[in-house]
């Protein structure tokens, strides 16, 4: 299945400039792990950013800007795509991770909790991002044919599909697809009948569920 949904250019640009929140950045890095198209685009934006940086007046730069830029250029290729495969040492993937499902290398640096029950056919796992304890990131694992309650968002919900697929009334999202759903999106993700779906979700603000029960359950996990 080809990746259909990519981060918008302004999101990639914000990532290149280091302006994204820790949650959004983790989601974008995970997408870039899975998507050669965006990996290339982000490399280009990084280069453009470097050129722009060179053209700026020295007074506008942070004192360590040059050192940081050089460190990035000298460092390992941070857009190299890690392949899903055997569990690496130190991998923090929760027990029961399905065979063959993509595991983002970026999550190895995070603390990932075991799966918790959230509702019939729905489990979740808390992802603690190093350096930003307040970043609201979780893994959602939803069974075949199951759905999340209808909701909208007070700010943005970033979603990266790692395994399986769901349709939310707007489009079908499969492995590798990325979505940023904001206050304009009122949707209900329904997992395809063929198998379960695992997504990495980064929530800025709150998820605003329509139903009182869903709101109560969502609040328990910080959605």
Binding residues for Zn ion, per CB under 5 A?
6, 35, 37-38
In whole angstroms, the minimum distance from the beta carbon of 35 to Zn ion comes to 3
d(CA 60, CA 58): 5
In whole angstroms, the minimum distance from the beta carbon of 2 to Zn ion comes to 10
In whole angstroms, the minimum distance from the beta carbon of 202 to Zn ion comes to 16
Residue among 38 and 148 whose Cβ is closer to Zn ion: 38
Residue among 38 and 207 whose Cβ is closer to Zn ion: 38
Residue among 40 and 155 whose Cβ is closer to Zn ion: 40
- Sequence-distant (6+) residues with CB within 8 A of 115 are 94, 95, 96, 123, 124, 125, 141
d(CA 201, CA 126): 10
Residue among 46 and 209 whose Cβ is closer to Zn ion: 46
In whole angstroms, the minimum distance from the beta carbon of 135 to Zn ion comes to 22
- Sequence-distant (6+) residues with CB within 8 A of 136 are 23, 202, 203, 204, 222
């Amino acid at each position: 299945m080809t990746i259909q949904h990519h981060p918008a250019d302004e999101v990639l640009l914000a990532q290149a400039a280091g302006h994204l929140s820790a949650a959004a950045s983790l989601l974008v890095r995970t997408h870039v792990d899975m998507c050669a198209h965006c990996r290339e685009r982000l490399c280009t934006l990084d280069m453009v950013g470097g050129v722009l940086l060179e053209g700026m007046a020295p007074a506008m730069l942070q004192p360590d800007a040059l050192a940081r830029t050089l460190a990035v250029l000298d460092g390992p290729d941070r857009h190299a795509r890690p392949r899903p495969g055997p569990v690496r040492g130190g991998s923090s993937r929760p027990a029961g991770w399905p065979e063959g499902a993509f595991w983002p290398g970026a999550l190895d640096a995070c603390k990932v909790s075991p799966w918790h029950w959230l509702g019939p056919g729905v489990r979740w796992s808390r992802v603690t991002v190093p350096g930003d304890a307040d970043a609201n990131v979780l893994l959602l694992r939803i069974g075949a044919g199951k759905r999340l309650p209808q909701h909208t968002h007070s700010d943005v919900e970033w979603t990266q599909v790692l395994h399986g697929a769901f349709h939310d009334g707007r489009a079908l999202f499969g492995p590798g697809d990325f979505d940023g759903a904001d206050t304009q999106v009122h949707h209900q993700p329904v997992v395809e009948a063929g198998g379960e779906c695992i997504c990495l979700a980064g929530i800025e603000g709150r998820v605003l569920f329509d139903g009182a029960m869903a709101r109560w359950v969502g609040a328990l996990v910080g959605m």
